[in-house]
Structure 1
Amino acid sequence: MKKIKYVVTTLALFLCFSSIVMAAPKEKEGNLEAIKAAQDYFQEIVVTSADGKSGTPLIDFEIVSVDASNPECVELLVKTKFKDSEQLPAAPYKVVKVNGKYEVLNEPLVYNMIPGSDEYGTVSIEKINEIEYSTTKNEPSIKAVIPNSYYYNSQIVGPGVYNYLIANTFSTTKSNVTINGWQELSPNSDDTSDIQLRYGIAEKLSTGSYKRLAESSLFKGDYPKNGNWLSAYLTDVPKGNNRVVYVFNEFFSTAVVSGNVYE
């Protein structure tokens, strides 16, 4: 009986050990497959963004951590570096299985690189509202025609929404930049509505993300087209290309904004 007991115990240990050994390569293989998918994803952006047409080109990346506890959704932290820029903080990315293959889930990322900000150096996944806009001959005010300035015109909506005006990008060559313009309630707003807006400058990145560089204080109420315009004076703005104006709406109203940016 002792011999039989020993054989059974040995067999049980063998089966248990075998199951562990067989499971490990499968998990490891899944990690490698997800990592390879992420590497291919970023390497393709490096190649395709080199012309700068989709935003500041990505030139390097580093996967610094991998969480594969859920094989259907592998979570990564990735550091990226863009042309003429510092390496950005590690940002969260997810690699998910779609029809049995791993794909990078492209979620909108925003880096806060505003000097002096309490959240400087942080990165977050947040709603990005990109606005394409057009101008007409009778729309701009004469005040918007400033030599060597970038003109913007758009409508913005919603509380707590960052609106990136992406029709055109511009370059900054100095550290001090002025945003000069007007803001009014849109015609479809009710009489009890109010405007509370912040203006800023961001860099459009080729990964579809944004890097916020400078932001104004809060401008409340109407600054009418035919009256006194607001003036947001931004300092410590990094020099570079692929700049866009963004407007953050802190209230519930819809506003019409227009103006220009100059150094």
Structure 2
Amino acid sequence: MEAQKIIKYLDKKFSPKLAANWDNSGVQIYQKQLPNLLEPINKVLVCLDLNQKVVDYAVEHHFELIITRHPLVFSSLVVENKQKKSIFAKLKTNNILVFSIHTNYDASPNQNLLKIVGEKLPILKNRRFGQDNEGYYLRLKQAVKLPDFIKALQAIFPNSSMQMNLIADGQGFVEEFYLIPGAGGSALTSLKLTNTLLVTGEAKWNELVSADDFNNGVILLGHYMEEYFVGDLVSLLTNAFERELIVEGFDIKNQLINVEGRK
């Protein structure tokens, strides 16, 4: 199957028009010569981020296309090449195409975040929010105790690195909350949130300080919370091209470990 057929399918599901202006979703240009989208693709590897382990696995097992959540190249190739020279070289030598689906995935109605949350926390109402529609406001069908809410989050986002601020810890029940994948702490100030609960991956210290000033609870799961992307893309591509592609996910693992209780 030609690469452009796969990309056309993914662009229909996760339109590039939904991507944020600062984002670099799509075909990743990591060499001067533009990639040939007419190249045949038989094996696709899906991952959260592209690192040396992913590339080595792709080379060893003969994958022609890698789909990532986070772009391989965010700024200019000249700058990034200094840090990722080895990765670029291996991709070029082995003729591996890289395609990223980032903020256009978050903003698309075809991603599965609502589904996996709703399986553990039944949702009454939801609406999009954020400059790029990257987040959800969610109201639950029934308020749940905070310990049960935390258990549900741990089941939805397994192996996440959970932390919370004191205000979140003081909540007895949770009936509504804001959910933003990745680094969504800026929503606390950009949306002027007050007296609410935000669940996201990461937040800066000044954003947490601001949360305290405006009585906002914050639960941080770490950026690895976005690992659900991998299973979603593997399922979509397998169902769409069952007889034409071999699709596999690669887990880069949570890059942070819990040190509590270690000696």
> TM-score, normalised to structure 2's length?
0.25
**Structure ranking higher in helix proportion:** 2
